[in-house]
Copies of this chain bind each other. A is one copy, B any other.
Amino acid sequence: MTDPGGQSPRERYRAQVRAEIKQHAWGQIATAGVPALSLNAIAKQMGMSGPALYRYFASRDELITELIRDAYRSLADTVRTAFDSGADLYALAGVIREWARSDPHRYFLIYGTPVPGYHAPDDITAISSEVMAVLLEACGAVSPDSSVDSPVTPFDAHLENHREWADGHPATAATLHSALSFWTRLHGVLSLELAGHFTGMAFDPELLMTEELKNLPSS
């Protein structure tokens, strides 16, 4: 009745409490890692009883899944927005790096150590491929489709025969290769940086990353 296109007050309230729960969940993850995430502890922080949270999340696992979904969603939106605003591969890398540095635990929730036995629902893998789609577009834009000059590597040839995953994307094998290199190099530098493996080495990871992306295959 009230506000036809919107939500009822109850729905708005629900969404708000759900959001607050997630917020505290992220806080706990930041403090002590995913393993320490506890519904009871969140409830205590919010000044309510443990069982109350079960009105909002069916289980601890569902909450974590939702956090993972949100993380992917946020990354996909960030990357998409940047690309649509004209960002090239370097700018894209910068945006992703800042996204990750602003909340390393969120990055690791997605790209860190996998939880044995956990399998993400389909809609999440779909979001993750949105990210890859943007990378493919960005890589396709830089080498205008007709780069006959760059040599065809064995891996490019291999990709020709294994490109089903890029279904619907009119990308050349070289472009697929380029996107994969972009992704893996970015992740290589970023995850080691965030995990602190460069601690003690005084160099600037940003410069290394830029350098790594300067020599992407056929771009």
Q: Chain A residues in contact with chain B, CB under 8 A?
A: 30-35, 105, 108, 111-117, 125, 128, 153-155, 158-159, 162-165, 177, 180-181, 183-189, 191-192, 194-197, 200-204, 207-208, 210-212, 214-215, 217
Contact = CB atoms under 8 A, between A and B. Distances in A.
B114 A177 contact: no
Contacts of A111: 191-192, 195, 197
B32 A181 contact: no
A202 B162 contact: yes
A215 B34 CA distance: 37
A133 to B, nearest CB: 13
Q: Do most interface residues of chain A lie in helix, strand or loop, or is the interface mixed?
A: helix
A116 B105 CA distance: 9
Contact of A113 (B113, B164, B189): B113
B113 A158 contact: no
A117 B184 contact: no
Contacts of A117: 32
Given A35-B35, A180-B208, 7 more contacts: A108-B114, A113-B195, A114-B195, A114-B196, A158-B207, A162-B204, A184-B185
